Amino acid sequence: MNPVLLAASSRRGRRGLAVLALALAAAGVAFLLTTMSMLSTAAASPSMSGLPCPSEAVAVGDGDGKTGLNAHQIRNAQTIIAVGQKNQVPTRGQVVAIVAALQESNLTNHPGGDRDSIGLFQMRPSMGWGTPKQLHNPTWAAGKFYRALLSVPGWEKMSVNDAAQAVEKSGFPDAYAKHTKRAVQIVASIGRGTADRAQIDTTGCTAAVDTPAGPTRDALKTMLAQVGKPYEWGATGPDSFDCSGLIVYGWRKAGYQLSARTSQAMHTLTTPIKKGQEKPGDLIFTQFRSGGPAHVMVVVKPGLAVEAPRTGLDVRVREYDPGEKMRFGRLPKSALSRTSPA
């Protein structure tokens, strides 16, 4: 072949390859941006609002007789949760994935199932979920499940059952609901090892309040029931709250009017208590400035508090360390006046 023609042909080939590479790169960037957008949207959504709190821990190791998890199931649950955490899927989404795996396979990585169903989520190659080899890989299958979940419009506001069904499209559409409480237990226990503690504790549940029945217990349970609702400065509920507004709302629902509205006013009227002596219902003050504390939260039990943190973060339950810069205070009876429960 003529050397000149050969060189020109080579140049055209190189230009073609360059154009193809640019096109592939652009497609990759578009996919990445779309995925990041989906994950960002999901991460901003409420985590586990409205779900039950775990009533008992799930053992991570050789299994747990109370929940029936064995070592194989635990490893699979760890994988599902870890994939969700790595991709910034909200805690609620991790619960949906565990619920689906409990229903479809009992957290067992089956090599087969109904027709050509495979793996933890009993996905079918014939339905476009992937190859048999891919679907038998728990990490790959979990990632596939989360991508499908995040593509469902409004999944965050669905019940766990409906969100799982939107992905699985089962012939038994209401079969997932019965696994919700167990899935919450699994995520709350197993997820603690690698996830942000505050994320796992933001459960939107009515946690067990370790205090005798009475107004304090009622107020705390009301505050805990607000987990997952947005922070809004100056708001006292029922749809949004600031830090002190959450406390005012909780006591109002319990049938008491609190004589202080702001964190500074609450700090002024509370009786100081030493760290380590706090009880459920006591207040924790932080972010001290010249005018007093800018933030207040409430002890659920020693080491755990409920709070409306700040703009951009929903009401949540979080662990606290007594070593943090904080002060504890107890509301005197004189600070509460009896009314009719709101």
Domain positions in the chain are: 63-201, 215-338
pLDDT in tens, 279-338: 999 999 999 988 899 999 999 988 888 899 988 777 877 778 766 789 999 999 999 999
Model pLDDT, residue 91: 86
Classify residue 125 as exposed, middle or buried by CB count within 10 Å of its CB (0-12, 13-18, 19+): middle
Q: Which residue has the tokens 């909780």?
A: 250
Taking 70 as the threshold, does the pLDDT of residue 192 lie above it?
no
Model pLDDT, residue 149: 96
pLDDT in tens, 128-147: 888 888 888 899 899 999 99
User: Which residues pair with residue 271 across a beta bridge?
Assistant: 330
Model pLDDT, residue 119: 87
Model pLDDT, residue 35: 35
Taking 90 as the threshold, does the pLDDT of residue 251 lie above it?
yes
- Enter the tokens of residue 135: 């679907």
Residue 69 near residue 108, CB atoms below 8 Å? no
Of 240, 154, 225, 189, residue with least CA distance to 67: 189
pLDDT in tens, 8-66: 344 444 455 444 444 444 444 343 333 333 333 333 333 444 454 444 444 443 444 44
Of 48, 41, 53, residue with least CA distance to 95: 48
Model pLDDT, residue 34: 37
Pick the residue with more confidence: 12 or 259?
A: 259
- 210 pLDDT band, cuts 50/70/90, is low
Q: Percent of the chain scored above 90 by pLDDT?
A: 36
Q: How many alpha carbons lie under 13 Å from residue 114 in its C-beta half-sphere?
A: 9
How large is the average pLDDT for residues 155-171?
90
Q: How far apart are CA 250 and CA 298, in angstroms?
A: 10
Pick the residue with more confidence: 193 or 138?
A: 138
Residue type, 145: F
Residue 201 near residue 192, CB atoms below 8 Å? no
pTM, rounded to two decimals: 0.47
Mean of all residue pLDDT scores within the chain: 77
Model pLDDT, residue 68: 60
Model pLDDT, residue 315: 82
Looking at the structure, give the CATH architecture of the domain made up of residues 215-338. Answer: Alpha-Beta Complex (3.90)
Classify residue 272 as exposed, middle or buried by CB count within 10 Å of its CB (0-12, 13-18, 19+): exposed
Q: How many CB atoms lie within 10 A of CB 292?
A: 16
Q: How many CB atoms lie within 10 A of CB 132?
A: 15
Q: How many alpha carbons lie under 13 Å from residue 35 in its C-beta half-sphere?
A: 13
How large is the average pLDDT for residues 143-166?
92
Residue 47 near residue 198, CB atoms below 8 Å? no
User: Which residues pair with residue 166 across a beta bridge?
Assistant: none
Cβ-Cβ contacts under 8 Å for 191 (sequence gap 6 or more): 81, 85, 91, 94, 200
